[in-house]
Amino acid sequence: MEGKSMLKLSHVLAFLLLASLFQSLMARDLISDGIEVLQLPVENDGEFVFCPGKLSWPELVGKSAEYAREVIQKENSIVHDVRFLFPGMFKPANYVCGRVFLVVDFKLIVQITPSMG
C-alpha cells in the first residue's frame, strides 16, 4: 500500500512541477502580445458600443481608398488596421476594435460605408 501512495505522491509532485513552468494566462498578457480579447461595451453618445470614437464613415463613399484611410485614422485614434476588400470578398465574422474595412472597386474608390469591426 505504501508503494501506491508514493507513486501517487510522485505524480502529484510531477504535475505541480510542470504546472509551475507555465505562466498564468491573463488578459493583460494577451493584449500586450497582440492577441485580441473580448471587450465589454462602453457608452458612446448614449449608445452602447464595443469601441470608443467614431465607428462608421458614410461621407467617404466615392472617395479614394488612401484618402479614406487617412481620414479614418485621423478621426479615430484607436484605428490601427485599415484593410481593403473588393466587392464579393468575405469580411471576417469576428469584431475587432481598431480594424476598419474599406470595400473598394478596382480603381480603389470606396463603394460601401466603411465601418469598425
User: 3-state DSSP helix/strand/coil percent for the chain, to nearest 5?
Assistant: 35, 20, 45
- Which pTM was predicted? 0.57
- What pLDDT, on a 0 to 100 scale, did the predictor assign at position 58? 93
Say whether both 49 and 76 belong to one domain.
yes
What CATH code is carried by the domain that includes residue 60?
Answer: 3.30.10.10
Parent domain of 19: 1-37
Distance CA 103, CA 110 (A): 6
Say whether both 109 and 53 belong to one domain.
yes
Q: What is the full per-residue pLDDT of the chain (117 aa) written as tens digits?
A: 577 777 788 887 777 766 666 655 555 555 555 555 555 555 555 655 667 788 889 999 999 999 999 999 999 888 888 999 988 888 888 878 889 999 999 999 999 999 887
Q: Which residues contact 101 (CB under 8 A, 6 or more apart)?
A: 82, 83, 84, 85, 91, 114, 115, 117
- What pLDDT, on a 0 to 100 scale, did the predictor assign at position 15? 74
Say whether both 20 and 46 belong to one domain.
no
Say whether both 49 and 90 belong to one domain.
yes
Count of domains forming the chain: 2
- What pLDDT, on a 0 to 100 scale, did the predictor assign at position 103? 92
Say whether both 98 and 117 belong to one domain.
yes
- What pLDDT, on a 0 to 100 scale, did the predictor assign at position 7? 76
